Structure 1
């Protein structure tokens, strides 16, 4: 048990990735959890995992792009536990492709989920925080809240907006006991890339190096506390891109486009996909996306092949 003992924590996007890892972390610290996402089956799995860690967990199926559902989530949390201490606004969806190839409805839905999901969360949580004399709102933004990249226009636009919103709320709520924090993960090994809506003939892959969801979850829990960080980038190596972009923006732009094309996409024969932008993707909901494991396996295979070739070459020379 830890500092979260007894606190009531609402987590949106709790069915997979960072949200699921955060639920586990809060559960291990003794929090009482309200788990929200669109997939009822996945939420029940997460709730069972949290109960196994000794936590009490309430499941509330919620689409954060629907303001009425977010309001209902807040009322359900308060009705069940009597208060809301922490709200983690974490739900996000992703799309990959050029601006012109991204369907307008996909672009709009990414904004509705990633930005307005945070807007609705803040509007739902703040009245309860004020009524009880305080609370903590943790907003999961992204490294893309501070830098840009081609082929991820909706996501980048949404994350710039959520980071700006977090900063505005920090200023407006200064002097109150309501705390607002922004967590900006770099590339995290989650299923969001499998869930991405992709343009025809391409599939999104995460840019290395990868950070574990558990590391982001630890930061979210720290940020929820009174003396935790107000703004925190998770992923030091990619986080350095913020300084690079600030010091040499044109050089950054020249570097990021080929990086996205070479390392961020794979050519496929697949038609345009819509991922989980409109409907939940329960089959691949988990904490990690398995990307780090695949890269380790690929590295080991390449290394083994190189060693074998070296051994053959030495044998031929002898």
Structure 2
């Protein structure tokens, strides 16, 4: 059955939302998911489909997006594919309206789109910096602007923002990405405060560490070197399962990956030291990486691939020792910094 021909739910099916669902089924839940064509998005779509949720899937590439919708329907879910560019606020409003018109309601909206541009700040075209901020930060704001009025009218709903550890810890050679992620975190906290008088509406932030998705391969690269995420990397399916859990148990913040909390703590205690350490490691990794052509990646054109995995987990083991050593060094440095601060206050 085509997603466009899926039967609309009856009025009785529309009466329940995430608060009424059980951990074993989301059959009465309607989820809008952006960035659904590959990586975390595709994994999440399939995870929600396995629980019986009705899905409205958004991405720029119609063909790959439809393939995800078809897979979800084969899993027994209802799925509607709506090609959408999150940088276009009118398109995001149309996405929300399409979901409401087709399924009668939206219970959960997941802003999952994330793009990046790797390279020195001055070597990266300004248009590319702008595009990263437009897709990541403004894309999340466009999604929220489109769906929050619907949540307010219903008195309930769950809005999820995919952020990453980059929302707490700056990433060298990815200035616009870092700026956008810090911005999304600030936006989420502000919006959560505004909606605090509506206990049925939740604003959730998700902070995974580096994920083994095709995102880095699809992204723009102006560094002149082949890049890959530092190990250990997280399975996209683990992030997808965390998103499914938020449908029944919304929480303000979800951290995924072994480095998440230690990284945030080290940044809070010794931000300048952390920045220098990351800059040194990032620069060393660039110098030793294989050469690569400059590319705009998927900033201005949709990605063509639809894989969930990026293939980085198989390549990561040889570099684990470097990152474990860095973690130990940073830990010692932070301890020394705290000891110095304690002596200075005596």
* Structure 1 and Structure 2 fold alike (TM over 0.5): yes
1:285/1:265 CA distance change after superposition, 3 Å: farther
1:219/1:161 CA distance change after superposition, 3 Å: same
- Which of the residues 26, 51, 75 maps onto 2:48? 26
Counterpart position of 1:310: none
Q: Which runs of 5+ in 1 are unaligned?
A: 300-318
Q: Please, which moves more after superposition, 245-254 or 264-273?
A: 264-273
**TM superposition shift of 1:294:** 3.4
**TM superposition shift of 1:18:** 0.9
Post-superposition, which runs of at least 4 consecutive aligned residues in structure 1 deviate over 3 A?
262-271, 294-299
Q: Please, which moves more after superposition, 28-37 or 44-53?
A: 44-53
Q: Please tell me whether the aligned partners of residues 138 and 224 of structure 1 are also in contact (alpha carbons under 8 angstroms).
A: no
Distance 2:318 2:227 in 1: 19
Distance 1:68 1:84 in 2: 18
**TM superposition shift of 1:8:** 0.6
Counterpart position of 2:222: 199
**TM superposition shift of 1:92:** 1.2
**TM superposition shift of 1:53:** 1.5
- Which of the residues 183, 186, 203 maps onto 1:180? 203
Distance 2:243 2:91 in 1: 24
Task: State the superposition RMSD in angstroms.
Answer: 1.8
State whether structure 2 residue 79 is matched by structure 1 residue 57: yes
Distance 1:266 1:218 in 2: 35
- Which of the residues 87, 94, 100 maps onto 1:72? 94
Hey, which of these two has a bigger chunk of strand by percent?
1
Counterpart position of 2:144: 122
- Which of the residues 111, 114, 120 maps onto 1:92? 114
Distance 2:214 2:149 in 1: 33
Counterpart position of 2:17: none
- Which of the residues 227, 240, 244 maps onto 2:266? 244
Q: Please tell me whether the aligned partners of residues 205 and 266 of structure 1 are also in contact (alpha carbons under 8 angstroms).
A: no
The alignment covers a number of residue pairs equal to: 297
Counterpart position of 1:308: none
Q: TM-score, normalised on structure 2?
A: 0.82
Distance 1:190 1:266 in 2: 22
Q: Which runs of 5+ in 2 are unaligned?
A: 1-22, 321-346
Distance 1:242 1:298 in 2: 22
